[in-house]
Copies of this chain bind each other. A is one copy, B any other.
């Protein structure tokens, strides 16, 4: 069906070891013993289902979460039932870093499809990182990478039109799936048009129309959740050729 395979429990365990640790350690210099120590504090959960919350806005902060398989969205709910989507999290990605500061979650995290999620108690991770220099370094890098990523989104929202935003979104999903070994050109979007729109600062209708336009232009095939990118390079071009930052007129001296 989609790329959200229902994974067996054993599968989760194994995957967790490779995937969570990949996220947390990357190719950094952790030796086998260190990896074991890290692995020992990671909690594997049973598969989470569509609609489940990892945490809600306002709750106390205990753990970080790593997406093993499936996908998760983070969002800020508003009183009237609306929401501002902050991000989509694919396999290998970390959730909850913004809650460290005040030890309280500022956003909610909801599972978009059947997913395997690993939980990493932060207190223990923090303690461990005091004794493992390369883990501490990796933590700094992870946090920093998150800042970089949000910075990119700021630039996107600050200076790009609807077409560029959707192209950028598709390219980003494609890149991230590819990095985890999935197809870069054929995938299922687990989020709704509404959620995509909120994330990109666009109305649902605009997102829908853009999908249709891209389809008509032969850039992709789309049917509901299923997307097949025909002209990935073309989409990249849209993203890159959009240098109409505000302040364009000012020429460097």
Hey, which bits of chain A sit against chain B, CB under 8 A?
76-86, 97-102, 106-107, 126, 129-130, 133, 136-137, 139-148, 150-151, 153-155, 157-159, 194-195, 197-204, 243-252
Chain B positions within 8 Å of A140 at CB level = 100, 126, 139, 143
Within the complex, what minimum Cβ distance (angstroms) separates A24 from chain B? Answer: 14
Would A83 and B245 count as touching, CB distance under 8 A?
yes
How many subunits of this chain does the assembly comprise? Answer: 2
**How far is B169's CA from A158's CA once the two chains are assembled, in angstroms?**
14
Would A99 and B144 count as touching, CB distance under 8 A?
yes
Within the complex, what minimum Cβ distance (angstroms) separates A41 from chain B? Answer: 16
Would A76 and B155 count as touching, CB distance under 8 A?
yes
Would A158 and B248 count as touching, CB distance under 8 A?
no
Would B243 and A159 count as touching, CB distance under 8 A?
no
Would A248 and B80 count as touching, CB distance under 8 A?
yes
Closest to A61 in B: B144
For this complex, 7 residue pairs linking A to B, each with C-beta atoms less than 8 Å apart, are A81-B247, A82-B247, A84-B246, A86-B154, A101-B144, A107-B151, A158-B200
| Residue among A82, A197, A252 facing the most chain B CB atoms (10 A cut-off) | A82
Would B143 and A147 count as touching, CB distance under 8 A?
yes
> In the complex, given contacts A81-B251, A126-B140, what are 11 additional A-B residue pairs having Cβ atoms less than 8 angstroms apart?
A76-B155, A78-B243, A80-B243, A81-B247, A84-B245, A86-B151, A98-B148, A130-B133, A143-B143, A158-B200, A158-B201
